[in-house]
Amino acid sequence: MPYYPDGSPYVYDDLWPELVNVGWLDDSHPYRRGDVPVELVDGLLRLAADPVNVTRGVHTCPFCGGSYLTVENPHAASGSTLLGSAEIHVRGAGGGGFAAPTLMIHYVLDHGYAPPPPFQRAVLRGSGRGGGAPPGRR
Ligand SMILES: [Zn+2]
């Protein structure tokens, strides 16, 4: 999976151009660590149950080598979500938004990743693409 610094511009969505990257980690760049509220994980799972940009391949975790990682997800119809094959997009406070790989949930749960506070607030506010999508797109 490509590495993008947290907060760098996300360039793959010209319909929602003000997205910034969060959670595109790799094992050669340090990342922000810390505890996160359980509500953040729940919010991420809710967003991951309705992902965007689903790909055919599955990305491998750069830290533990895990692939085809799944996580129990009460928000998903199947009860679990495969990580590493899609993105979650969530609106920020100022009209922009954030684009993160679903594998980020694994980074948070198993590798101590603490996403940037503006992203955490956006997830907790809970306006993902499913609920707050720009006109004509979800
Ligand atoms: Zn891992």
| Residue 30 belongs to a domain | yes
| Residue 2 belongs to a domain | no
Domain count, the chain: 1
| Residue 62 belongs to a domain | yes
The average pLDDT across 114-118 equals: 96
Q: Is the pLDDT of residue 96 over 90?
A: no
Burial 124-133 (b: 16+ CB within 10 A, else e): eebbbbbeeb
The average pLDDT across 109-114 equals: 98
Tens of pLDDT, residue by residue over 20-76, are 999 999 999 999 999 999 999 999 999 999 899 898 889 999 999 999 999 999 999
Partnered with residue 9 across adjacent β-strands are 20
Report how far ligand 1's centroid is from the alpha carbon of 1 (Å): 13
| Residue 135 belongs to a domain | no
| Residue 134 belongs to a domain | no
- Show the domain range for 106: 19-129
| Residue 8 belongs to a domain | no
C-alpha span between 20 and 9 (Å, rounded): 4
Report how far ligand 1's centroid is from the alpha carbon of 103 (Å): 9
pLDDT of residue 13: 61
